[in-house]
């Protein structure tokens, strides 16, 4: 939540997608309104993978615990992002770099892909 609080002004200008439980915490802490998906992480990763394969998302921030092995569905999401050069962050340091790059307009070229 600290990440969302710190970058609330930037995140507010973008469409966010989040698991329902995380979305509730984000809403309470920041008043941001992420689109919610079910709490089943495999379903969420599958849905995001589909969005990535069709270039319907521009970036992924998926903060994960490195001590816990990544599920296969999460690996498919990262592969889908790699196929279409969609940047993804898996820790707060890379998430910060990604959000600041988005704020500077470094990913504006992705708009051309969707037009």
Q: Give the domain ranges of the chain.
A: 2-113
Residue 102 pLDDT grade (very low, low, confident, very high; cuts 50, 70, 90): very high
- For 62, 64, 83, 101, the CA distances from 87, given in Å and listed in that order, are 11, 16, 10, 11
What pTM did the predictor assign? 0.86
Paired strand residues for 37: 19
Please enumerate in sequence order all residues whose Cβ is within 8 A of that of 73, keeping only pairs 6 or more positions apart, or say none: 41, 42, 45, 46, 49
Whether residue 16 has pLDDT greater than 80: yes
Residue 113 pLDDT grade (very low, low, confident, very high; cuts 50, 70, 90): confident
CB atoms near residue 48 (< 10 Å):
25
Whether residue 15 has pLDDT greater than 70: yes
Q: What is the CATH number of domain 2-113?
A: 3.40.50.1380
Whether residue 62 has pLDDT greater than 70: yes
Helices vs strands, H then E, count in the chain: 7, 4
pLDDT, average across residues 24-28: 95
């Amino acid at each position: 939540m600290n990440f969302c609080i710190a970058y609330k002004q930037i995140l507010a200008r973008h469409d966010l997608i989040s698991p329902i439980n995380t979305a509730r915490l984000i809403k309470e802490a920041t008043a941001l309104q992420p689109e919610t998906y079910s709490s089943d992480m495999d379903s969420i990763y599958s849905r995001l993978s589909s969005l990535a394969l069709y270039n319907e998302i521009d970036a992924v921030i998926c903060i994960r615990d490195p001590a816990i092995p990544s599920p296969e569905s999460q690996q498919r999401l990262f592969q889908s992002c790699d196929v279409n050069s969609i940047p993804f962050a898996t820790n707060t340091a890379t998430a910060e770099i990604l959000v600041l790059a988005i704020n500077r307009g470094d990913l504006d070229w992705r708009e051309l892909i969707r037009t």
